[in-house]
Amino acid sequence: MVYTAKKWIYARAFGGEPKLDNFCLEEEIMPDIREGEFLAKAEYLSVDPYMRIYILSYPIGSVMIGGQIAQVLESKHPEFPVGAYVFGQFGWRTYAICNPTGIATRKPYVLPDFGVLPRSLGIGTLGTVGNSAYFGFLEVCRPKSGETVVVSGAAGAVGNIVGQIGKIKGCKVIGLAGSDVKCRWLEEIGFDYAINYKTTDIGEELLKAAPEGVDCYFDNVGGEISAIVKKQMRHFGRIACCGTISMYNGSPIQVEDPQRDFVSKQLVQEGFSVHRWTDRWFEGIEQNLKWINEGNLKYRETITEGFENMPLAFIEMMKGGNIGKAIVAVE
């Protein structure tokens, strides 16, 4: 059978915020698969902030990068049988051919059984996003019961999960988000406080919410917001740097150097990539799945219908238009 893939190309270099003319839709007839390969059809595709930065290392004309959930249609690989649903970094395309041999840290894998839960969680709470929260927060921040945790970008895909895990671990959790709607949702899912960074003085509100100071900071945004939070860290506080989305669309925001806080308060700050924990990947998925089934971890998705709307979904996500994980459903 002949399969014709649609694919979104990185057609023009970004200048500031992404725009529709940065992308171009093309088609490609898929070749026959070879030994060790499988062909899969996309069902759900992910749009994430990291794509804005990572694609810059690729030449113009490359397929946009990203993960997806896809169903195996043809296979010459015993670990990826026909009919199986897989997660893979196949890019913005409707069909993909993959040879897993030689892929080290971002190997495709067959999705575990989610029971009655939607498969789309495989690119959200039960995938890379959930593992970023699980490992990044627990391994880097090392939260203790009774401590105070601040999460920036708290209504985003990773941030909301971090906050909920913080509550599971017995912490006071404060979320920073960009609208009253997002703040209300954070409080609904268990955050102790939610601060709208666009309409309030973050420093003043944070002092009210955490007069004793901050023990753990999970940083998704960088920039001015993070500089403010770091000033209110307690001695021996821990900071996990997951992203710097405030700087992705242009020049970094110039803020006062917080270096002296790191010295005087003896803080620990660590950047991380979730693929550091590839060898424990399913531990994170299984634990997050258990918490969902127990009712301790809630999820939310912002789903855009139609592969043709990939660029629009990406642009809206980069503007903060999503609550929870931003996903595109192919059909």
SS (H, E, C) 271-284: ECCHHHHHHHHHHH
Q: Are residues 157 and 238 in the same domain?
A: yes
Which of 76-90, 210-224, 234-248 is predicted least confidently? 234-248
Q: Are residues 174 and 69 in the same domain?
A: no
Q: Is the pLDDT of residue 257 over 70?
A: no
Q: Are residues 162 and 184 in the same domain?
A: yes
Q: Residue 90 is part of which domain span?
A: 4-124+300-329
Q: Are residues 34 and 96 in the same domain?
A: yes
Residue 290 lies in a domain: no
User: Measured on CA atoms in the order 211, 224, 269, 121, is the torsion positive or negative?
Assistant: positive
Predicted TM-score (pTM) of the model is 0.93
Total domains present in the chain: 2
The 10s digit of each residue's pLDDT in 95-129 is 999 999 978 778 999 999 999 999 999 999 999 99
Question: CATH code at 118?
Answer: 3.90.180.10
Q: Are residues 267 and 312 in the same domain?
A: no
Q: Are residues 20 and 112 in the same domain?
A: yes
Residue 168, pLDDT score: 98
Of 120, 153, 168, 136, nearest to 300 (Cα)? 120
Residue 289 lies in a domain: no
Residue 246, pLDDT score: 65
Which of 33-37, 61-65, 250-254 is predicted least confidently? 250-254
Q: Is the pLDDT of residue 21 over 80?
A: yes
> For residue 317, what pLDDT band results from cuts at 50, 70 and 90?
very high
Chain-wide mean pLDDT for the chain?
94
CA distance 128 to 144: 24
The 10s digit of each residue's pLDDT in 57-101 is 999 999 999 999 999 999 999 999 999 999 999 999 999 999 999
The tokens of 136 are what? 């990044």
H or E element at residue 183: helix 180-188
Residue 172 lies in a domain: yes
Average pLDDT score over residue span 180-187: 98
Residue 47 lies in a domain: yes
Residue 36 lies in a domain: yes
Contact predicate 115/293, CB 8 Å: yes
